[in-house]
Chain A
């Protein structure tokens, strides 16, 4: 018996509605197509403040937070940045809720030397307004900017070498965090690859430390990023995370949210198109028509205007490993849908947002990382699509970049990709030199740009998808050259794309549609004879 979130289309099924950037498009898919819908949102915690207090007073594998405190001690609180959740959640953000409780506890125990660091790693610096929105007015007014600030992965004076693993990987971390008597990490595990050892070892480190695992070789060895035990990336980061935990006293607080991405008036976007009421169908038509008619900046402004009404489903605290195990399980509970067998073709609509494009346009490189990186990796067990299979995406692939946030991406796409798409070659020939570009580093340090190494990492991020997939076909691209730069084909319509995917074969294709957003993951089981070949190559 199939899961209720798995729907097989028949002749009478209505067209499916997919995201194509910040537009919605209707596509006809053949009968027999398997559509995987997100699960209903998990029930939220009713009394969140009580849950936070309970978590820090009854931690996993650690003394309670209050037992670690003593008057006059030096404490640093590191906080996840704006890249999660997507889109940003409605106020109050869960990080504000946790910080409020924690800061009160610190004050009660006479701990005054407290600094809050946004663990941006090499992501862009958050703007003051974004920080205020995330931590709330009260905390912002009390701490910003002297005691609440962004991590700077290029400030060599404020980075300190923590040590080296047996494999020769060096870890440099934020000096303030490293020299504190207690480091508290406030995390939001939005998807299973967030949080855990990654929080400190990535969020507070620098480019040199990231090179140890953010490289094509590691990514190629990773199966699903979303399934930590199968991810070489997660294993490498864990090694460095353990090193950090050996040297520092770290108390982790992790939270999870459900997948209520859309408010009540847009809830129909999560539903099976055949189950929509008459009223919802009308709303859907209106939304499709209006996103088609409005200019792009207006569409983006609309989507930016509506924060997601996510609700908190779990708060866990204590030692990183046992805490994270529980967060990952909660995440799986929300996202995993059991699937039997892999498909020849996977269809997915690329939405308007990614972790790296909050309040910015989703540029072509980020479309790539969503398609071949994140969405391809939305599985546990085996990839949703067979080795050598086809991924069909809907997106305009517009050659447009945010000049503030994604300045180094422009050079990557238009200078380096025309030279080669080979991730190993890019890594070897161009990455380090570009990562030291003083102009882009300055944009990262004093502006709000991503570090110049970031576009390279984004390309590597799609590496296991690239190695596994036979081809990627884009439906609805507004140009030919961007898909070509990415190594993709273009098709005028979904029918055309499916015809190409068939490639003259007589048998009918097994097609799977991953109906996102909100987030859904396939828990894919395959017969032993056709066990996974994907990911590594």
Chain B
């Protein structure tokens, strides 16, 4: 038996979940400093109606492994594990899939997922603005000036890459982060959110995310932005999972390279497909939202694509395929 610490759970005050499980050659870390989730049965409810037993998984993506510590419990069928509780304490900068907040969906287990692109879809910022914030907030003004100068020199290449290939653009842009410390990235991430991203959230973005959650969807942000930044936005809007880009770290410093997979363009489609498969969702039932034509692969793999504040090419495509298309930028009357 493993005792889990207390976690806040939306919709309930606090619970202590006691996971009764059979360890399978895996030691559950004491602090659960990883993304943990379990499906629980309804047979032995805790106070507050929460169940006690279940199966769980623990991901240590930053250590390059994903390990299931219990694949099933007492031979119970999956159908009896209801509802889903997600527990998480995020300390990992490089995890590939982060389940952010303990979330109870309204009807128990999420039945499907809504995948959201972030930049231009939910917020008016793009990848450049947070990067500029980082560059301008280095240890000394001289360091900031140096980094900014280097970035400006590389700007023409980035502009060309943006036109040709979003993935190359991302790699060039994140090259400007080389040498930044992990601590700085982490701490400034919160500041970037507060000062750059939060004021740029579109008026209807929160309502859209809320409706997805209310419909029982797992809300997943799939963004080319850095995970350490998007995570804060996801918390702010109530999203459950973040799939973002991660910087490679060496001796606590960013190398300027992105860890694979780079979240951009067609790769997003593969990531969404894999995520849905891992959660047992039918892609036909999944939703995806984006503003950009470059995300058409991601939109195309789900059964319910939607164009949000679409660019011209995406708007034409949405019209041709009768995808829902709407604008989150207008202020509610």
Q: Which residues of A contact B (CB under 8 A)?
A: 125, 144-145, 149-150, 152, 154, 401, 403, 407-408, 410-411, 414, 436-443, 445-447, 449
Contacts and interface: CB of A to CB of B under 8 A. Distances in A.
B329 to A, nearest CB: 9
26 contacts: A125-B333, A144-B333, A149-B333, A150-B333, A154-B211, A403-B325, A410-B322, A414-B322, A437-B324, A438-B208, A438-B212, A438-B287, A439-B326, A440-B324, A441-B211, A442-B204, A442-B306, A442-B324, A443-B324, A445-B207, A445-B332, A446-B204, A446-B326, A446-B330, A446-B332, A449-B324
Contacts of A449: 324, 326
Given A403-B319, A438-B287, A445 B204 contact: yes
B217 interface: yes
Interface string B202-226: 0010011001101101000000000
Of B214, B304, B324, B330, most A-chain CB atoms within 10 Å: B324
Given A403-B325, A437-B324, A438-B114, 5 more contacts: A436-B215, A437-B215, A439-B287, A442-B306, A443-B324
Contact of B328 (A125, A149, A403, A442): A442
Interface in B299-329: 304, 306, 319, 322, 324-328
B289 interface: yes
Interface of B: 114, 204, 207-208, 211-212, 214-215, 217, 287, 289, 304, 306, 319, 322, 324-328, 330, 332-333
Contacts of B322: 401, 403, 407, 410-411, 414
Contacts of A407: 322, 324-325
A24 to B, nearest CB: 30
Contacts of B324: 407-408, 437, 439-440, 442-443, 449
Nearest to A433: B215
Contact of A439 (B289, B319, B330, B333): B289
Contacts of B328: 442, 446
Contacts of B217: 438
Contacts of A401: 322
A401 to B, nearest CB: 7
Contacts of A447: 326-327
A317 to B, nearest CB: 28
Given A145-B333, A149-B333, A403-B319, A438 B326 contact: no
Given A403-B319, A446-B328, A447-B327, A437 B304 contact: yes
A408 B323 CA distance: 9
A441 B209 CA distance: 11
Contacts of B327: 446-447
B49 to A, nearest CB: 23
A152 B324 CA distance: 19
A437 B286 CA distance: 11
Given A145-B333, A149-B333, A403-B319, A442 B211 contact: yes
Sorted from nearest, which 9 A-B pairs have the closest CB atoms? A439-B306, A439-B324, A438-B211, A436-B215, A145-B333, A438-B212, A410-B322, A443-B326, A149-B333
B239 to A, nearest CB: 13
Contacts of B114: 438
A446 B330 CA distance: 7
A442 B208 contact: yes
A401 B320 CA distance: 12
Of B204, B207, B208, B306, most A-chain CB atoms within 10 Å: B207
Contacts of A411: 322
Contacts of A150: 333
Contacts of A408: 324
A154 B214 CA distance: 11
Contacts of B215: 436-438
B326 A442 contact: yes
A21 to B, nearest CB: 21
Nearest to B207: A445
A439 to B, nearest CB: 4
A403 B324 CA distance: 8
Contacts of B333: 125, 144-145, 149-150
A401 B319 CA distance: 11
B129 to A, nearest CB: 24
Contacts of A441: 211
Contacts of B287: 437-439
B69 to A, nearest CB: 34
Nearest to A409: B322
Nearest to B321: A410
Contact of A436 (B214, B319, B332): B214
Contact of B304 (A152, A154, A439, A445): A439
A268 B214 CA distance: 54
